Structure 1
Amino acid sequence: MRPGATNSLADVAGLRVGHAHRVGGGWRTGTTVVLAPPGGAVAGVDVRGAAPGTRETELLDPRNLVERVHAVVLSGGSAYGLSAACGVMDRLAEAGVGFPVEGGVVPIVPAAVIFDLGRGGAFRATPDATFGAAAHAFGAPAPPSPQLSRGTETHVGGRAAAPPHPGRPPFATAPPHASGSIGAGTGAVAGGLAGGVGTASVVLPGAVLPGGATVAALAVANPAGSVLDPHDATLAGARYGLPGEFAHLRPPSRAEAEAWRPPARPAFNTTIGVVATDRTLTKAQCGKLAAVAHDGLARAIRPAHTMTDGDTIFALATCAGPAPGRGEFQEILAAAADAFARAVAHAVLAATGREDAPAYLDVFPSATTGGIS
């Protein structure tokens, strides 16, 4: 098996990813949006953490009416950050995208948040609807205007994404395939290390799954638990890498591993994310896909699903390919779990270190093949 062209969620054809974040001036937080193809994507969700911050998850129960969603929003800001979904809803409604009802449409936009309050920014400097609108703009199919790519709050086509806010730093963004301290992961902390957004994909060949398939994951890694193997301080999620994916990593020196002392203070956290495939799945199968992706989360994070985590994973099926048979579905489930574990590893590996949250390679410089042994 091999990764997709960008080794990211964007390898699932039809999905678009947008990141918007603010850093500086009392801010360190952001929002990530996953936009579905025209017509939406079949969706499911699985919530395992004891302190979730979510929106519209009940709609994804297979017993309930709505079959497809039009976007999924992942955000910083704890419960305050759920309002970022309103900005995405507004943009989708203006484009006529949503569940049709008499008089118009209602965009279906589930959301989940991480706790990042006061981590490098003011406690109440949290994402609102303007963050969602900006993330939507950065993930829109049309290329952003030159003004938008410089981080202003101008929407594609020159329409204002939000009224000006004097004193706020401009929005910044990152490519859809990027990992690191971006979007919803801007203020993330992973077991004392800098956390962030990570993404990964795998292409299942016809020899594994007749007809082939693409399976991908995007994780916002902000766990209370450790992302390190307790035996040698390697990134636990990297054990599930595809051939060559993490070939530049090795166990750090024993001295570095023994010197690392993560903060002992209790913290609120949460890891959230999306897994997706281009095959046709039912809502119930998407719920199972999200549930099995939590296996990947638990392989990459120890302990997972704690009382201070709100671990939540959404699953999307774009339905571009045929429905899998029972045995074939097993291959998609297994690939999703591994992809999520890999995404967590990429999130931590690419994160930017800062005060009180050092980067993984700042703490373990010998963990790269060119590092200090």
Structure 2
Amino acid sequence: MTEPQLLSAWAGHWTGPGTGVTVILPPAGTVGSGEVRGGAPATREFALLEPTRLVDRVDAVVLSGGSAFGLAAAEGVMSLLRERGEGFPTPAGPVPIVIGMSIFDGSVRTGPPDAAGGRAAALSAYAGTALTGGRVGAGTGASTGKWRGRLDPGGLGLAEREAGAVRVAAVVAVNAWGDVLGRDGDPLFGGPPGQTRPAGPYAMQNTTVAVVLTDARLSKSDCFLLAQSGHTGFARAIHPAHSRFDGDAVVALATGLSAAEADLDLLRAVTVDTVAAAVRAAVIPPG
């Protein structure tokens, strides 16, 4: 897979035994918003992303395994950013705005990511280490198809597209209760989408989380709309999506580094395709 240009400079992984962390460190001044649609989220600082809130910048987004325990990875990123003097300016000094989203993997039992894992992923991002997808970072312990009582492949997917004169990229940790669908709408693993599911033991061990990143110059409200389009990408490539047993969440970031004027509706349409492609890339090896 070709490495997405937008993510290559600002993202990194830490991969541990059966779990991991993926960190996105956008340039200073990046505007962000987000939306949760799943019924069982594990998130950090998500209320800040609402369009009506004061702070519109985002300094880092941390994707991790370990469910609520794995949110501790964000503390390692926050402390590193503080050391570097980055964050929202306050009279007491900069306060880094670090958003966290976690999936439920086996590390909940065996040892979830901690602050050290978050710091290692952030240092990898600063070092410019090539970003890869698959069973790495936050997607290391992911699986899908659990509504059928199975553990089908999951992972971390990357994709990037042009939207007129600007670009949009997506990084998605796919740990869905439902099936991942191919472009034809059929599940990539298992039977047809209408097949009756058996009672499975995996009702609480799910969640798909994503970061959408564009070089367009957008407002916080625009980013909220972009996050909504990311969820449409989930619905296009996962069935069922946004269940009671998933904590599906999307954060949308706009760096504003492109001088071109963005067509927001075109950007939203391309975002749907980009997120859907990233979901499929998480479980289909390149080649």
TM-score by shorter chain over 0.5: yes
2:203 partner letter: A
Segments of 5+ residues of structure 1 without an aligned counterpart are 145-174, 236-251, 352-367, 369-373
Structure 2 contact 13–23 (Cα < 8 Å) conserved: yes
Shift of 1:318: 0.3
Measure, in 2, the Cα distance between the counterparts of 1:323 and 1:41.
Answer: 16
Quote the residue 1:239 is aligned against. Answer: none
The C-alpha deviation readout for 1:92-136, integer Å capped at 9, x for no partner, is 1101111111232110001110011x3xx5704001100100001
Structure 1 contact 232–257 (Cα < 8 Å) conserved: no
The structure carrying a bigger strand percent of its residues is 2
- Picking from 125, 136, 140, the partner of 1:182 is 136
Q: Any idea what SS the aligned residue of 1:320 has?
A: coil
Percent of matched pairs sharing the same residue: 44
Quote the residue 1:289 is aligned against. Answer: 226
- Show the 5 A alignment for 1:130-209: 130-140=116-126, 142=127, 175-176=130-131, 178-191=132-145, 192-204=151-163, 209=164
Quote the residue 2:179 is aligned against. Answer: 226
Structure 1 contact 190–227 (Cα < 8 Å) conserved: yes
1:219 partner letter: V
Q: What stretches of structure 1 move > 3 A for 4+ residues in a row?
A: 228-235, 260-264, 322-325
Quote the residue 1:302 is aligned against. Answer: 239
Decide whether aligned partners of structure 1 residues 323 and 329 sit closer, same or farther in structure 2, where only a CA change above 3 A counts. farther
Measure, in 2, the Cα distance between the counterparts of 1:17 and 1:344.
Answer: 18
Structure 2 contact 7–169 (Cα < 8 Å) conserved: no
How large is the Cα RMSD of the aligned pairs?
A: 2.6
Measure, in 2, the Cα distance between the counterparts of 1:281 and 1:134.
Answer: 30
Measure, in 1, the Cα distance between the counterparts of 2:19 and 2:136.
Answer: 8
Aligned pairs, number: 278
Quote the residue 1:267 is aligned against. Answer: 203
Decide whether aligned partners of structure 1 residues 232 and 278 sit closer, same or farther in structure 2, where only a CA change above 3 A counts. closer
Moved more, 126-135 or 99-108: 99-108
The C-alpha deviation readout for 1:132-188, integer Å capped at 9, x for no partner, is 000011111x467xxxxxxxxxxxxxxxxxxxxxxxxxxxxxx31x11010011100
TM value normalised by structure 1: 0.69
Moved more, 57-66 or 275-284: 57-66
1:283 partner letter: K
Quote the residue 1:55 is aligned against. Answer: 44
TM value normalised by structure 2: 0.89
Measure, in 2, the Cα distance between the counterparts of 1:335 and 1:220.
Answer: 19
Shift of 1:266: 3.2
Shift of 1:278: 0.5
Shift of 1:83: 0.7
**Residue 30 in structure 1 maps to residue 20 in structure 2:** yes
Larger Rg belongs to: 1
Shift of 1:264: 3.2
Decide whether aligned partners of structure 1 residues 309 and 122 sit closer, same or farther in structure 2, where only a CA change above 3 A counts. closer
